[in-house]
């Protein structure tokens, strides 16, 4: 794997500017593909705070984590990958596979030289994180955060929720478009929508990958500390189903974000960021 670009630059995402010299937007090569990632580290003390690696969900890319990058970059190194066929990364002609996505994350971890770190995944990205933890030949994280996800991502279980969320997203974008005040959530979701238009096959590939993903029977093999975060109004990963983690992961911490559906890190960032910050402090106190 070779680094293809490490230029530091001014970057503005949804109106938030990352200033020099704390930001990298490089690429690295893995399996013949150029994979893009955002690497933000504005810490004064580089030994302070455990690094985080953020993994987006189906049909998304690193921009979905804007409000977490903004919040945590001054206290932690924050790295957000664009999986293959997403964001600014290269296309892969092979069928999408969540276990292969996990290997892309591992390639990034090795590339940037992380030792202790927290792996955070949203929706399909949570599946990627679970797969990662089950592949013991990969460099294992210190802890995991699973956001709005479940170990079984089969479409028959998610279809109704996907339709409801799609309708709500469309309505919210239309409402935001006519509003004089553009919220951060609207800006982020608009950028995500624009990327879906540029890469029309992205979402269908991911849904096919989700439909064959089920690691329910293997979850007990994951031994690192786990935080599960879900929205109380999530239609795709309903709260009662997420609570199955209490059985699957008896030692996991399960936190609910109020007045949020499938994207709590965007819809209720203050709540979400506080939950994540508290978990990071707990992890850091034990290493």
3-class secondary structure per residue, the chain: CCEEECCECCEEECCEEECCCCEECCEEEECCEEEEEEEECCCCCCCCCCCEEEECCCCCCHHHHHHHHHHHCCCCCEEEECCCCCCCCCCCCCCCCHHHHHHHHHHHHHHHCCCCCEEEEECHHHHHHHHHHHCCCCCCCCEEEEECCCCECCHHHHHHHHHHHHHHHHHHHHHHHHCCCCCHHHHHHHHHHHHHHHCCCHHHHHHHHHHCCECHHHHHHCCCCEEEEEECCCCCCCHHHHCCHHHHCCCCEEEEECCCCCCHHHHCHHHHHHHHHHHHHHHHHCC
pLDDT attached to residue 166: 55
Residues of the chain with pLDDT under 70: 1-24, 156-182
Q: How far is CA 26 from the centre of its chain?
A: 18
Residue 228 phi/psi, 5-degree rounding, is: -110, 125
Residue 220: per-residue pLDDT? 87
Q: What is the pLDDT of residue 86?
A: 96
What pTM did the predictor assign?
A: 0.88
CATH number, domain of 37, equals: 3.40.50.1820
Residue range(s) defining the domain that contains residue 233: 3-285
Q: What is residue 16's predicted lDDT score, i.e. its pLDDT?
A: 47
Instruction: Return the pLDDT at 158.
Output: 59
Based on the structure, what is the number of domains in the chain? 1
């Amino acid at each position: 794997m070779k680094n293809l670009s490490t230029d530091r630059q001014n970057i503005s995402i949804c109106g938030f500017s990352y200033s020099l010299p704390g930001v990298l937007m490089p690429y690295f090569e893995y399996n013949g593909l150029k994979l893009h990632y955002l690497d933000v580290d504005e810490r004064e003390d580089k030994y302070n705070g455990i690094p985080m690696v953020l993994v987006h969900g189906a049909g998304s890319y690193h921009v979905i984590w804007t409000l977490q990058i903004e919040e945590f970059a001054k206290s932690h190194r924050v790295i957000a990958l664009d999986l293959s066929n997403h964001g600014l990364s290269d296309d892969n002609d092979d069928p999408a596979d969540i276990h292969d996505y996990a290997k892309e994350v591992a390639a990034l971890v090795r590339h940037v030289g992380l030792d202790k770190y927290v792996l955070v995944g949203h929706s399909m990205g949570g599946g990627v994180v679970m797969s990662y933890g089950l592949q013991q030949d990969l460099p294992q994280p210190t802890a995991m955060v699973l956001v709005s996800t479940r170990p079984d991502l089969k479409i028959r279980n998610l279809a109704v929720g996907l339709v409801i969320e799609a309708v709500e997203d469309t309505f919210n974008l239309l409402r935001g478009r006519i509003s004089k005040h553009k919220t951060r959530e609207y800006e982020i979701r608009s950028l995500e929508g624009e990327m879906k238009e540029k890469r029309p096959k992205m979402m269908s590939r991911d849904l096919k990958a989700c439909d064959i993903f089920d690691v329910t029977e293997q979850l007990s093999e994951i031994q690192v500390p786990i935080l599960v975060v879900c929205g109380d109004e999530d239609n795709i990963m309903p709260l009662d189903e997420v609570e199955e983690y209490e059985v699957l992961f008896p030692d996991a911490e399960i936190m609910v974000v109020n007045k949020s559906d499938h994207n709590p890190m965007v819809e209720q960032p203050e709540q979400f960021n506080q939950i994540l910050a508290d978990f990071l402090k707990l992890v850091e106190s034990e290493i």
